[in-house]
Structure formats: C-alpha cells, structure tokens
C-alpha cells in the first residue's frame, strides 16, 4: 500500500515524495521499536487523531473532505509538508 501511495506522491511532487519516504521510514522504525505494543499504540493514536479531527471540523463547520474521495485522504500529509516547506523556503 505504501508503494502505491508513493507512486501517487511522486506524480505530484518529487521533493515532497522524498520527504514522505523519510516519514514512512521513521514510522517503520518506530513500529519496530514499539514491538509488541505497536497495535495498542496505533489504535490509541488513531482514536485520538480522529477525535481531534472531528472537533476541528465541528469548529470549522464543514464535513471532512476525504469522506468524499480517497485522494483527499492521501493529500493531507502532503498538504502539511507543503506548509512546512513554505515556512522553510523550500520550493517543491
């Protein structure tokens, strides 16, 4: 699944894709480090993230866009990286 996602990312931006490879690698290393607790940690992070996401959308007054299209779900991490790249004056 990560390989298919990376193909989508490379189609959009080479530099952002390289940053996502680093994020994917860090995530894999963290998963290895958590060992037997990776499932519990993943479920906890997922639940907390969804709670904050829906709180944010309630405040914003709009429903989450990615419920309409999987592409929006995949774009979210790149959108955050794009924000970081702009702050660091890195063109992408």
CB contact at 8 A, 32 and 25: no
CA atoms within 13 A on the CB side of 52: 6
- The pTM is what? 0.72
* Residue 61 phi, psi (nearest 5): 85, 15
**HEC profile of the chain:** CHHHHHHHHHHHCHHHHHHHHHHHHHHHHHHHHHHHHHHHHHHHHHHHHHHHHHHHHHHHCCCCHHHCCHHHHHHHHHHHHHHHHHHCCCCC
41-86 pLDDT per residue, tens: 999 999 998 899 888 888 988 777 666 677 777 888 999 999 999 9
DSSP 8-state class, residue 35: G
């Amino acid at each position: 699944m990560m390989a298919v996602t990376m193909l989508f990312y490379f189609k959009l931006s080479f530099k952002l894709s390289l940053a996502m490879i680093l994020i994917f690698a860090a995530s894999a290393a963290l998963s290895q480090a958590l060992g037997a607790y990776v499932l519990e940690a993943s479920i906890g992070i997922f639940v907390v993230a969804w709670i904050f996401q829906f709180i944010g959308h309630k405040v914003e007054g709009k429903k989450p866009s990615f419920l309409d299209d999987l592409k929006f779900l995949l774009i979210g991490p790149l959108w955050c990286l794009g924000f970081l790249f702009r702050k660091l004056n890195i063109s992408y």
